[in-house]
């Protein structure tokens, strides 16, 4: 039996949508939105297709934006997804706290009003891959990020180290923590109405690798936690300094491991594997440091000693992700030594990596209770001062108030412009995001 071919015909009219105004050429109420660009939008008539050909585009400027950058942790995305997704048991049995529906409403509306952006990260991707609801979770974080993503965490950490190197070399006085340098996509762009997303088939070995690595880290942390429990004669700053020193050792160890893997593969002693052959974060970081030292006329035979000198310096230890993560682990160690019996959760190490990497670039973060509690303790609340507001379920009503305050400060002119570009119904929450 011969199969019938199916065709879809797309015309220019398919790309024109409301809100419509009167066309200056044919006078019909069909002059709609053709496209929304970063700082302007264009109109075209759905009837006479004005402007077309050599006619000048109907281009309208849009005002500059200054969106708040809010990081939403994976557990919050998961709960909002379950609140909205009829295919989950939690939704079917009505076991999801209504707070998550309220939070979704606030975030979705603020994103549509062009007041807030919630960049996604490689942590969102990895955590979603471990869930049976990968695609619904992906749809959630892409709805709030709208194409804006943080660079992978190792790249951001490398950039921070190289910034600290500039301080060490006397080139700058303070690290530049400009979020635009560590994100893909234009944060302050006016967004199109639609999101283009591609769902790729993720290899099972990738998922297994993420899960295996997480389990190894959790096992290692369990071992360290038990050691902390026995160190009752130590104080916070002992563990803090221990963690800071460990950062340099970890980089050196990772660098040496890469060189060893590369050597055995090159000699044909083990089969070629992409993961073991691609340069890792430590290798790239050390190469960048040495290149900068060469530019400073450091002799070849002195490069390694200078590199070591930098890694042992206080300036290196003040790298934001090192300082923040070291303090969070020291806070956990203090609890362990003070009698805590409960082991850290399997996701604690991931939470530390997330917070230590992206906190300096955010206006606000919504994270788990434990890490937020640590960040509000001394000396963390005094030392980690990047102006980032930190929320969790423990102060969830404060987070809602924070979001409501962002909307209340939007000018009438801004709200009118949003309606002009997107229409009066645009800001209604997308409750049907997970409904077919």
Per residue in 304-352, pLDDT (tens digit) is: 999 999 999 999 999 999 999 999 999 999 999 999 999 999 889 999 9
* pLDDT band for position 204 (cuts 50, 70, 90): confident
> What is the predicted pLDDT for the residue at 268?
66
Give the mean model confidence (pLDDT) for residues 175-200.
Answer: 90
User: Do you know the residue count of the chain?
Assistant: 436
Q: Quote the Cα angle for 420-422-426, to 5°.
A: 125
SS3 15: helix
Which of 256-265, 299-308, 392-401 is most confident?
A: 392-401
Give the mean model confidence (pLDDT) for residues 119-133.
Answer: 93
Is residue 194 scored above 90 in pLDDT? no
Query: Are both 70 and 37 inside the same structural domain?
Result: no
Query: Are both 41 and 106 inside the same structural domain?
Result: no
> What is the predicted pLDDT for the residue at 53?
87
Query: Are both 56 and 98 inside the same structural domain?
Result: no
pTM: 0.92
Query: Are both 78 and 24 inside the same structural domain?
Result: no
Give the mean model confidence (pLDDT) for residues 206-210.
Answer: 83
382-392 pLDDT, tens digit each = 999 899 999 99
How, if at all, do strands 31-36 and 40-45 pair?
antiparallel
Give the mean model confidence (pLDDT) for residues 114-133.
Answer: 94
Is residue 272 scored above 60 in pLDDT? no
Is 250 within a domain? no
Is 225 within a domain? no
Query: Are both 111 and 135 inside the same structural domain?
Result: yes
Query: Are both 73 and 143 inside the same structural domain?
Result: yes
Give 304's contacts (C-beta < 8 A, 6+ positions apart).
Answer: none
- Rounded to the nearest angstrom, the gap between the alpha carbon of residue 348 and the centroid of all alpha carbons in its chain is 17
Report yes or no: 368 and 392 within 8 Å, Cβ to Cβ: yes
Report yes or no: 325 and 352 within 8 Å, Cβ to Cβ: yes
Q: Domain of 104?
A: 65-150+394-436
Is 1 within a domain? no
Q: Which of 154-163, 235-244, 255-264 has the lowest mean pLDDT?
A: 255-264
> What is the predicted pLDDT for the residue at 3?
56
User: How many domains does the chain fold into?
Assistant: 2
91-101 pLDDT, tens digit each = 777 888 999 99
CA atoms within 13 A on the CB side of 7: 3
Query: Are both 69 and 56 inside the same structural domain?
Result: no
Is residue 277 scored above 70 in pLDDT? no
Is residue 177 scored above 90 in pLDDT? yes
% of the chain surpassing 70 pLDDT: 95
Query: Are both 70 and 53 inside the same structural domain?
Result: no
Higher pLDDT, 347 or 411: 411
Q: What is the mean pLDDT of the chain?
A: 92
Nearest to 116 by CA among 366, 289, 297, 434: 366
The C-alpha atoms of residue 158 and residue 51 are separated, in whole angstroms, by 48
Query: Are both 25 and 94 inside the same structural domain?
Result: no
Is residue 2 scored above 70 in pLDDT? no
Is 166 within a domain? no
Give the mean model confidence (pLDDT) for residues 254-271.
Answer: 76
Is 407 within a domain? yes
Is 295 within a domain? no
% of the chain surpassing 90 pLDDT: 77
Query: Are both 53 and 123 inside the same structural domain?
Result: no
DSSP string spanning 99-115?
HHHHHHHHHHHHHHTTS
> What is the predicted pLDDT for the residue at 275?
60
* pLDDT band for position 11 (cuts 50, 70, 90): confident
Is residue 413 scored above 60 in pLDDT? yes
Which of 6-20, 190-204, 354-368 is most confident?
A: 354-368
Give the mean model confidence (pLDDT) for residues 125-129.
Answer: 92
> What is the predicted pLDDT for the residue at 182?
97
CB neighbour class for 405 (10 Å; exposed up to 12, middle 13-18, buried from 19)? exposed
Return the exposure string of 79-113: e unless at least 16 CB atoms fall within 10 Å of the residue's CB, then b.
bbbbbbbeebebbeeeebeebbbbbbbbbbbbbbb
77-90 pLDDT, tens digit each = 999 999 998 888 88
Query: Are both 72 and 139 inside the same structural domain?
Result: yes
Is 424 within a domain? yes
Query: Are both 40 and 54 inside the same structural domain?
Result: yes
Is 283 within a domain? no
281-304 pLDDT, tens digit each = 999 999 999 999 999 999 989 999
């Amino acid at each position: 039996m011969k199969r019938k071919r199916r065709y879809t015909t797309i015309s220019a009219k398919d790309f024109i949508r409301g809100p419509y105004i009167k066309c200056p050429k044919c006078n019909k109420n069909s002059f709609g939105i053709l496209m929304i660009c970063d700082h302007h939008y264009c109109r075209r008539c759905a009837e006479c297709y004005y402007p077309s050909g050599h006619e000048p585009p109907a281009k309208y400027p849009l005002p500059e934006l200054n969106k708040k950058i809010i990081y939403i942790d994976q557990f919050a995305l998961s709960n909002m997804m379950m609140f909205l997704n009829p295919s989950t048991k939690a939704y079917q049995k009505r076991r999801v706290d209504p707070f998550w529906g309220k939070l979704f409403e606030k975030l979705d509306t603020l994103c549509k009003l062009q007041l807030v952006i919630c960049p996604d990260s490689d942590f969102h991707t990895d955590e979603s891959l471990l869930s049976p609801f990968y695609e619904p979770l992906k749809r959630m974080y892409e709805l709030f990020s709208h194409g804006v993503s943080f660079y992978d965490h190792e790249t951001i950490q490398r950039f921070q180290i190289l910034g600290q190197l500039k301080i060490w070399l006397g080139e700058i006085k303070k690290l530049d923590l400009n979020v635009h340098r560590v994100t893909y996509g234009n944060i302050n762009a006016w967004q199109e109405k639609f999101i283009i997303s591609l769902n790729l088939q993720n290899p099972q070995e990738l998922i297994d690798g993420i899960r295996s690595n997480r389990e190894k880290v959790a096992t290692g942390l369990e071992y360290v936690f038990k050691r902390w429990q026995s160190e009752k004669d130590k104080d916070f700053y002992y563990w803090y300094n221990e963690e800071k020193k460990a950062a340099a050792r970890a980089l050196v160890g990772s660098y040496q491991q890469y060189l060893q893997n590369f050597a055995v593969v090159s000699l044909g002693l083990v089969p070629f594997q992409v993961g073991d052959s691609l340069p890792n974060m430590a290798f790239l970081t050390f190469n960048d440091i040495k290149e900068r030292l060469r530019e400073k006329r450091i002799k070849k035979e002195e490069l390694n000693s200078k590199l070591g000198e930098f890694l042992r310096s206080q300036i290196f230890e003040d790298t934001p992700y090192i300082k923040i993560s070291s303090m969070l682990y020291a806070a956990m160690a203090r609890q362990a030594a003070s009698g805590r019996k409960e082991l850290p959760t399997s996701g604690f190490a991931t939470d530390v990596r997330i917070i230590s990497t992206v906190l300096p670039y955010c206006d606000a973060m919504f994270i788990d209770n434990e890490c937020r509690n640590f960040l509000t303790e001394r000396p963390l609340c005094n030392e980690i001062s990047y102006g980032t507001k930190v929320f969790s379920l423990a102060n969830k009503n404060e987070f809602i108030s924070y979001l409501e305050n962002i909307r209340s400060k939007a000018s009438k002119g801004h709200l009118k412009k949003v309606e002009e570009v997107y229409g009066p119904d645009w800001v209604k929450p997308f409750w049907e995001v997970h409904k077919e």
